[in-house]
Chains A and B, each alone.
Chain A
Amino acid sequence: MSGIMGFYLPSVLITSTSLIVMLMAALKRTHLLTNLITTVGLSLALLVQLAQLGKAPYQTSLILFDGTTTLVSTLLILAAWLLSLFLFNWLQNLKDPKEEYYLLLLLSTQGALIVCASQHFASFFLGLEIMSLSLVPMIAYPGEDNQALEAGIKYLVLSAIASAFMLLAIAILYLYSGTLSIPELATKVPELLSSGNIINGCAIILLLVGITFKLSLVPCHLWVADVYEGAPVPTTALLATVSKVALFVVLLRLFMLGEWHNQTALINIIEVIAAASMIIGNLLALLQKNLMRLLAYSSIAHFGYILLAILALKPAIAISNVDTLANEAAITYLYAYLTTVVGIFLMLMLLPETHHIDQLKGLFWQQRCKAVVLTLLLLSLAGIPLTIGFIGKFYLTLVAVNAQLWWLLAALIIGSVMGLFYYLRIILVMIDQPESHSETEIITTHTQLLVMGVVILLVIGGGVFPSMVAELVKEMIGLTF
């Protein structure tokens, strides 16, 4: 029994922390204490979750705790934990009430945890709505900022539409298959699709639309830049990492279970989405001067890359059947993406009011420590060796070559070179000599140094000695029913 409790404990901890924070906001508002409680709650949850790594899997009809869930949950809590460490200073500068932000952060993390553990559409939808609905106020949090309000409303409306699409899809699938359980559906749907009834195909497309919206893949990507630009930085970080990673795990689970690779039409659609996301995402980012918009567009491209792993889940025509390699590739890339992107947003939180790329000018000579960390993180996003980003890209290339996805690989190469162009441009701006030489080294606190250290350890440590990451991911993927 205690073993089973262990799986729920992180969620229980996070939920109770959110309840305490809510009560505190109702009874007596103290920012420092709220911050402390949130941080302690997330730290405990992270520790408990870390202890869960490697435990035998457990499932109910709603929830599945296998190796993948445990590993991704760890990453999600890690991201939230890192963000919570930086929130105090950032919120202090805000005029609005501060305590609710912690509540929303905890709730959206909780929602993401449910999403990534769900194996039933009921739990999936519940988690998704908890996550999305807490993200909306987080986006619109600075009440006096019209841009943030606009972004919040945009996200609210669009995400509600996406949810409606998904609900409709779920309803249709339930109508024809009589089940809401994801594993059962995943095995039944390919049969339903082959039966020639066009409505099932529509349902799958609708579901895909909902998911592509949340992952901001190409035909449904238009919201992403505006929301990233309008939302406050920590929210954007959460939006870019936690919400997307959780949802991608569901997509991966869906495709792992059934014989989807025989559905040529569907695979073709995903191939087009992937290629278009890589190319268009990078093209949009290419000459972008606003940092947030640039990161938004680059995230489109990154999820285009990860789709390669899903497309590679087809053993039939593979060169060699390297068992679970495609899953490992997806999870490793998610790990790389999450740690790197969270790191970048944390660095941007340390450089307040930095929206435009030119504001970074000369950073390398003024605040060396931050600039070096930011440079390494950008190189990781670009996939340069000795960073975790390269390991992720290496996995993807390996599985894509294995599955012989040549055209998508061409898109990957073109996309990566384009990506490198704009990442390098940021680095160029940072190393540019400023006209006025002012040695204003802004003091970094111990917490900030700790967080930067953790990020560098995850990104560079994982890149130089990738065997630990590789073995962990392989072992965790193996823990399944």
Chain B
Amino acid sequence: MILLTLIVFLLLAGVVAWYSEAYGSHAPKWVAAISLCLAWIPLWPVLFSLELNSDQRWLINEVHDWIPRFNISAHLALDGLSLLLVILTLAMGLVAVLSAWKEIKKQTGFFYFNILWTLAGVVGVFCALDLFLFFVFWEVMLVPMYLLIAIWGYENRQYAALKFFLFTQAGGLLILLSICALVLLHYQQSGQLSFDYVDLLNHSLSKKASFWIMLGFVIGFAIKLPTIPFHNWLPDAHTQAPTAASVILAAVLLKTGGYGLIRFVLPLFPDAVQTVAPYVMAIAAISVIYGALMAFSQRDLKRVVAYSSVSHMGFVLLGCFALNAQAWQGAVMQMLAHGVSTSALFALVGAIQYRYHTRDLNELGGLWQTLPKLSAVGLFFVVASLGMPGLGNFVAEFLVLVGSFETYPWFTAMAASGLILAAVYSLMIAQKTFFGSLKLNAAVDFDTRETAMMLGMAVILIVMGLHPQPLIDIAQQTLAHFPSISMGAKP
């Protein structure tokens, strides 16, 4: 019941937050923040009794009846990978709420309702082991996110919200198609109609069938990740979304794509994955470089960060399809590190926008003179994003590159050049915003809430960079169960 409780709790908290607006426009944010803290309680027993070396596949495994007609059950389970991502979701959800603290003034109740429902949907995605249930959560988390962008976004919000929804919906339908095909082919072979992940792992599809089904999944997840050529929605959605929505989008929504690849595509289609791996690796390497180049050529600070996401998520794709344990660990680490560092950058841009009502790099400059705290923190996360050793992002990118180099040295070399480009755009952010001559009026620096939030994220990144082993161990709990695909073998 633990996971179901967690999801239902978040959903109920959303409803309470909406109604609490009747007691003043400040009530909803307190409800949201407190409920996000309380949401940890159901997970406590798991966190304290973590036995990583046991052969147990799932830390929590619960099955509830749902649609017996198709043998669909509400199968929720937690293993190392989903535990890490659920923790990320809850933590970054709190960051999102804190970063919206002063920014959102109108319709606060409905705003926090949407935030909590998005988070509930994402937690559901990370825990669902029934493919039908997974798909339901996958789609359901879109609606509140769409509303967040469409109602509280900036100038061009409606266009961006629509684009976001349409892209992901198209990917979602492809996933639905693939799920149906997979289930029916499995039914044909085994005579057992089941949407359950554990059952479907034992399928024995023909090569052709599994290739096409896998392609459907990969495209669906690649849209969410996003990779070239499906990345088009991301810059708009990120730029127009309110800060809190950007934080959630960057921290957890993009991760659902990477999670889907690791959880479903790799174990379900170990053979078919090998045939497409070279092409996907090429696309991933191009994504890394393209994202970095585009980031460099933007004027809008939020667009820079958005394109840097494309670049960073390229590493996740690279790690997934390098098909060895190291690269997979790197991909997981990259999802976590990117989740924290990019959320921090979005929160930072949000803080700047809140103070100066502009995100234009040409209008900013010299912030260090008036906002030393904000600028120092900003510099830290900019440096984290370019992959400075000692911070989480470095560990992640290093692991991905080491892993991929074994299998695809050329693509890896291409992707590695993305690191240099990352330094270029990251330093450009730092130079144009924090240094130089001051073009704007003075403003109030970070208050305690913002400082605490930012420092918290900085500490997480430092710990991830200096002592990543616990995280790797937890992730390994999942990855160890993967079918060993060509460990380091050349294709």
Interface residues on A, range: 20 to 34
Say whether, besides A320-B187, A397-B176, A413-B173, A467 and B66 are in contact (CB < 8 Å). yes
Q: Does A431 interact with chain B (Cβ within 8 Å)?
A: yes
| Contact assessment for A470 and B173 in the assembled complex, using a CB-CB cutoff below 8 Å | no
| Contact assessment for B176 and A386 in the assembled complex, using a CB-CB cutoff below 8 Å | no
Most buried by B among A385, A398, A416, A427: A385
Mark interface residues in B121-151 (1 if CB within 8 Å of A CB, else 0).
0000000000010011001101100110011
> Mind listing 20 A-B residue pairs with CB under 8 Å?
A319-B187, A365-B107, A379-B143, A384-B143, A385-B139, A394-B132, A394-B176, A409-B177, A412-B173, A413-B177, A417-B170, A420-B166, A424-B165, A427-B150, A433-B106, A467-B65, A467-B67, A467-B68, A467-B69, A471-B69
Please give me the residue from chain A that is nearest to B189 by CB atom. Answer: A320
Q: Does A125 interact with chain B (Cβ within 8 Å)?
A: no
CB contact list, A401-424 vs B, under 8 A: 401-402, 409, 412-413, 416-417, 420-421, 424
Q: State A365–B150 Cα separation when bound (angstroms).
A: 14
| Contact assessment for A320 and B68 in the assembled complex, using a CB-CB cutoff below 8 Å | no
Q: Which residues of A contact B25 (CB under 8 A)?
A: none
Q: State A471–B65 Cα separation when bound (angstroms).
A: 14
Q: Which residues of B contact A386 (CB under 8 A)?
A: 136, 140
Given A398-B70, A467-B69, 7 extra CB contacts under 8 A: A319-B188, A379-B143, A390-B136, A394-B132, A417-B169, A424-B162, A467-B67
CB distance from A366 to the nearest CB of B (A): 13
Q: Which of A394, A398, A402, A421 contacts B166 (CB 8 A)?
A: A421
Total interface residues in chain B, CB < 8 Å: 38
CB contact list, B167-212 vs A, under 8 A: 169-170, 173-174, 176-177, 180-181, 183-185, 187-188, 193
Mark interface residues in B8-36 (1 if CB within 8 Å of A CB, else 0).
00000000000000000000000000000
Q: Does A442 interact with chain B (Cβ within 8 Å)?
A: no
| Contact assessment for B169 and A420 in the assembled complex, using a CB-CB cutoff below 8 Å | yes
Q: Does B243 interact with chain A (Cβ within 8 Å)?
A: no
CB distance from A299 to the nearest CB of B (A): 20
| Contact assessment for B162 and A416 in the assembled complex, using a CB-CB cutoff below 8 Å | no
Q: State A421–B177 Cα separation when bound (angstroms).
A: 20
Q: Which residues of B contact A154 (CB under 8 A)?
A: none
Q: Does A474 interact with chain B (Cβ within 8 Å)?
A: yes
Most buried by A among B66, B146, B170, B177: B177
Please give me the residue from chain A that is nearest to B176 by CB atom. Answer: A397
Q: Does A428 interact with chain B (Cβ within 8 Å)?
A: yes
CB distance from B394 to the nearest CB of A (A): 39
CB distance from B282 to the nearest CB of A (A): 26
CB distance from A170 to the nearest CB of B (A): 37
Q: Which of B146, B161, B180 contacts A397 (CB 8 A)?
A: B180
| Contact assessment for B166 and A417 in the assembled complex, using a CB-CB cutoff below 8 Å | yes
Q: Does B343 interact with chain A (Cβ within 8 Å)?
A: no
CB contact list, B412-446 vs A, under 8 A: none
| Contact assessment for A413 and B162 in the assembled complex, using a CB-CB cutoff below 8 Å | no
CB distance from A438 to the nearest CB of B (A): 16
The 6 closest A-B pairs by CB, nearest first: A470-B69, A385-B136, A401-B180, A320-B188, A385-B139, A467-B67
Q: Does A27 interact with chain B (Cβ within 8 Å)?
A: no
CB distance from B295 to the nearest CB of A (A): 29
Q: State A390–B67 Cα separation when bound (angstroms).
A: 14
Q: Does B99 interact with chain A (Cβ within 8 Å)?
A: no
Q: Does B158 interact with chain A (Cβ within 8 Å)?
A: yes
Please give me the residue from chain B that is nearest to A393 by CB atom. Answer: B176
Say whether, besides A386-B136, A398-B180, A467-B68, A425 and B162 are in contact (CB < 8 Å). yes
CB distance from A407 to the nearest CB of B (A): 13
| Contact assessment for B165 and A385 in the assembled complex, using a CB-CB cutoff below 8 Å | no
Q: State A389–B169 Cα separation when bound (angstroms).
A: 15
Please give me the residue from chain B that is nearest to A398 by CB atom. Answer: B180
Q: Does A322 interact with chain B (Cβ within 8 Å)?
A: yes
| Contact assessment for B135 and A431 in the assembled complex, using a CB-CB cutoff below 8 Å | no
Q: Does A315 interact with chain B (Cβ within 8 Å)?
A: no
Q: Does A466 interact with chain B (Cβ within 8 Å)?
A: yes
Please give me the residue from chain A that is nearest to B67 by CB atom. Answer: A467
Q: Which residues of A contact B187 (CB under 8 A)?
A: 319-320, 322
| Contact assessment for B184 and A401 in the assembled complex, using a CB-CB cutoff below 8 Å | yes
Mark interface residues in B67-109 (1 if CB within 8 Å of A CB, else 0).
1111000000000000000000000000000000000001100
Q: Which of B106, B151, B166, B181 contacts A401 (CB 8 A)?
A: B181
Q: State A409–B178 Cα separation when bound (angstroms).
A: 11
| Contact assessment for A466 and B177 in the assembled complex, using a CB-CB cutoff below 8 Å | no
Q: State A320–B162 Cα separation when bound (angstroms).
A: 38
Q: State A390–B177 Cα separation when bound (angstroms).
A: 13
Q: Which residues of A contact B162 (CB under 8 A)?
A: 421, 424-425, 428
